Amino acid sequence: MNIGFIGAGKVGCTLGKYFSQDAETVVKGYYSRSTAEEAARFTGSDCYETMKELISDCDMIFLTVPDGSIQDTWKRIREYDIRGKTVCHCSGAMSSQDAFSGIEEAEAFGYSVHPLFAVSDKYHAYRELPGVFFTLEGMESAGAREIRRILSALGNPYRTIEGKDKITYHCAAAMASNLVCGLVGQSIALMERCGFTEEEAVQALAPILIGNMSHIAEKGPAASLTGPIERNDIDTVRKHIACMADDSEQELYSLLSRRLVQMAQARHPQRDYAGMSELIESGLIGTGL
């Protein structure tokens, strides 16, 4: 299986280097406006002068360009003979149907291949990919089977999902990754009100954050839940709500606490969380929700 990459940024470099570790996969090279030579050198592959040459040499073409450029890049690819080829993109939110309009008429096969992982670096992130979960979506084909074979050979778990579920899946990933940053930012702001600097707050919170995420990864969120809501400590939660600076902070705390009450009740069905629920709902009423 000869694989080529259109786009030589972080994702292209990372996947190219990683896939090249599979003995049955040949990473042929890269086509890009500016950084193809650098990516080719890093992966031990070729730098292509034209998109046409890369497409001709490859059975599978990965479009590792920004999400906003995928459809335009696809329109350019369609100008060439791509019969029987597999075309992939790596967007978590976009389905293959949305990305590759008219691919059936081109007699090619479209797929989205998304690592559930934040690729933050061009030249080192591939070392972190072993064990990372991938989601696959698109048409069944020999290329799709080859993607699954590569992931299995490299030891990566994966799941095939429906195109209609891509946005929901991406939202889930964003909540676990991006929105957590906002939540930690709020925690740091509260620590700063107690006299901590931002750096001190990050240092102080790091063991809790790392330990809790480790427990969640091992046991799941419900089994890892601790604190006043899980203990049904209504008085402490009331004081928490009262210490918030404004309605937006109360809203954030109360909305998340509503979810925690549901988890705590499922974990401890013998406990009565009615009073806790009433308190949290009263906090949301104050915000207009």
pLDDT tens across 72-126, in order? 999 999 999 999 999 999 999 999 999 999 999 999 999 999 999 989 899 999 9
132 has pLDDT over 80: yes
Q: Considering the entire predicted model, what is its pTM?
A: 0.88
CA distance 264 to 275: 13
3-state helix, strand, coil in the chain (%, to 5): 55, 10, 30
pLDDT at 287: 55
Cα separation, 158 vs 181, in Å, equals: 26
Is the confidence at residue 261, as pLDDT, over 60?
Answer: yes
263 and 277 in contact (C-beta within 8 Å)? no
Vertex 17 angle, CA 14 and 23, to 5°: 140
**CATH number belonging to domain 2-161:** 3.40.50.720
What CATH number labels 168-285? Answer: 1.10.1040
Average pLDDT, the chain: 95
Q: Is 56's pLDDT higher than 90?
A: yes
pLDDT at 128 over 90: yes
Examine the pLDDT at 159 and tell me if it is beyond 80: yes
- Does the structure show a pLDDT above 90 at 63? yes
Q: Domain limits of the chain?
A: 2-161, 168-285
